[in-house]
Amino acid sequence: MDKIVLITGATSGIGEACAKKFAADGDHLIITGRRAERLQKLTAELENNYGVKILPLVFDVQDRQAVESTLGTLTAEWQQIDILINNAGLASGRASFENADMNDWETMLNTNVYGLLYVSKAIVPFMIARKKGHIINMGSIAGKEVYENGNVYCASKFAVDAINKAMRIDLLKHNI
């Protein structure tokens, strides 16, 4: 295999666009998402249009055990991940702080922050073993500037920005 790219949240939006671009460039993909039918449809499209290998994995990045058990059982061939794109994310609830639903807050933090950490923690050992890799954590302008009713979503994206900076410092010694 040539380059292997793992993309979380690949079933729509930026994640799907990234999958199509990398496949068009001839890279093999591990695509993840919560919706099996969308993953299967995208897998078929990419394999048919670009002739690349695709490994679709269905799990929710919020579920630490699912992340660990799924990514922990990758075959040696698929462990050779060159690029990890942590794209899975969401914005739940658009209420002002005093009216916000705490379940929305937990969902956003569990997906946007913890999901990114769970997936990265599972993949980084493969990159360290190879002494190379790239990690792209999708942020947002909401991680630089807050806006009305964006309270916890903005906080989650500020966290992603801080995690990006800290991961770079910690992992640069491994050529990641």
* Catalytically annotated residues: 153
Q: In what order do the strands lie in the sheet with 28-33?
A: 54-58, 28-33, 4-7, 83-86, 134-137
Cβ-in-10-Å burial (0-12, 13-18, 19+) of 3 comes to middle
DSSP 103-135: HHHHHHHIIIIIIHHHHHHHHHHHHHHHT--EE
Q: How many CB atoms lie within 10 A of CB 2?
A: 11
Beta strand 4-7 with 28-33 is parallel
Tokens read off for 107:
């969902």
Distance, in Å, from the CA atom of 22 to the CA atom of 156, rounded to the nearest integer, reads 27
